[in-house]
Structure 1
Amino acid sequence: MRGIIPWTALAAAIAAPLVAAGFSPLLQWRDGIYIASGFAGIFGMTLLLVQPLLAAGDLPNLPQTRARRLHRLTGALLLGAVVTHVIGLWITSPPDVIDALTFTSPTPFSVWGVIAMWAVFAAALMAALRKRITVRPMTWRRAHVALALTIAIGTVIHVLLIEGTMETVTKYGLSVLVLLAALRIAPRLRPRRR
């Protein structure tokens, strides 16, 4: 029973913002590509809750080897969600995406979204090249965790600054959970005491 409660809570934390966004009245005036792009962004944010829990081995009844495999799979899904989010926005409004990518957008949320996006790309590249990069494992881990923290913080600020389809209570709730999960892995940045 104790193992079921955390998994149920995690499922609810993932589903609630997606379901609540599905009832947003703002969806009435949007086309399908824009809606899919927005939901890819929301889905990506829910993955930011799962990633640190898998990395820290915090999910019950999940062996460490399986957690690592799921961490890599979830990372790939996150990368796909970010790419889908950006491509969808590009299709619906190329000038806005160009402004965001060149940091000339008048909307502050764009800057934070682009910072988080580049951090996702860098973390994914690091993971893909892990066996080819000749750095100490602890150095690699610290860099990867630093990128993960940048992703989490940048995404939360990005989301909180947007007045969009995400419902307010679930948006703030997911943001808090993402930051708490990210803080769970923050100690990995500190050097170990001998």
Structure 2
Amino acid sequence: MSEGRAVQATLIWAALALAIGVPIALAATSEQLAWRGPVYILAGFAGIIALGLVLVQPLLIGGYLPGLSAYRGRRAHHWIGGALVAAILIHVAGLWITSPPDMIDALTYASPTPFSPFGVTAMWAIFAVALLALLRRRLGLRLRTWRIVHIPLAIVIVAGSVVHCLLIEGTMETMSKAVLCALVFAAVVKVIADLWRKRSLRSSSAWDG
């Protein structure tokens, strides 16, 4: 790797670390934590980490993170997906422990809080993708079929997660939260656009041939 590419790779990884780390660090300094119990705090930070993992996923599958081969990127995508599911389970379990009635309302789409339905919808979409990924070989899903299913669910995950996060007035600092959400949205748009362009090029080449 040339010196220029090495510097570029370092900057990309540093930018990703800052995009995820700064919101977490600023949330850790929030005055609201003084009135929260440890379980609630754990649940909240699990949610923040989950949003950071949602950013990493399209970057991996799009091959935008330097130093990772296509194979390693896909493997990392699978493992990060598992970590994302774990973070969501911790987030939901923690909130359930602190307030079961509120979580029942949220899971049944009866909560009066405007952010709840977006988060719950994103959660179910994440679980659906994880389940389909586990059963993909058994179901015999080809890559094209997998993408037809996965991409709409990914859009639901990103849209639901971003809106859920932006509507919550909690421990996250406003500006860093907005930047992280914007990056998550931009990353998935970039991946979908690149996949669409590659598919169009392949179709055009096949037609010309």
| 1:141-192 deviations in Å (ceiling 9; x for gaps) | 1211211111011000001111001110111010000000111222346893
Q: Does 2:14 match 1:2? A: no
| Structure 1 position 40 matched with structure 2 position 46 | yes
Query: Counterpart amino acid of 2:72?
Result: R
What residue is the counterpart of 2:59 in the other structure? 53
Of residues 147-156 and 32-41 in structure 1, the stretch that sits farther from structure 2 once superposed is 147-156
Higher helix share: 2
Alignment of 1:104-123 (within 5 A): 104-123=110-129
Residue 86 (structure 1) aligned to one of 82, 87, 92:
92
Does 163-172 or 127-136 show the bigger shift? Answer: 127-136
The corresponding residue for 2:78 is: 72
- Tell me the equivalent position of 1:176: 182
Unaligned runs of 5+ in 2: 1-6, 204-209
What's 2:206 paired with?
none
Contact conserved, 1:142 with 1:189, CA < 8 A, in 2? no
Moved more, 131-140 or 184-193: 184-193
Number of equivalenced pairs: 194
In the alignment, the residues of structure 2 paired with residue 92 and residue 172 of structure 1 have an alpha-carbon distance, to the nearest angstrom, of: 27
**Structure 1 CA distance for aligned equivalents of residues 8 and 161 of structure 2:** 31
The sequence identity of aligned pairs, in percent, is 52
Partner of 2:199: 192
CA contact (8 A) 1:89 1:97 kept: yes
Larger Rg: 2
1:138 to 136, 144, 148: 144
TM-score (norm 1): 0.96
Secondary structure class of the residue paired with 1:76: helix
Say if 1:95 and 1:191 are closer, same or farther in 2 by CA, change over 3 A.
Answer: farther
> Which position in structure 1 is the counterpart of 2:30?
24
Measured in 2, the distance between the counterparts of 1:137 and 1:189 equals 14
3-state DSSP class of the match of 1:159? helix
Which amino acid in structure 2 is aligned with residue 22 of structure 1?
A
CA contact (8 A) 1:145 1:185 kept: no
Note closer, same or farther for the CA distance 1:52–1:25 as it changes in structure 2 (3 Å cut).
Answer: same
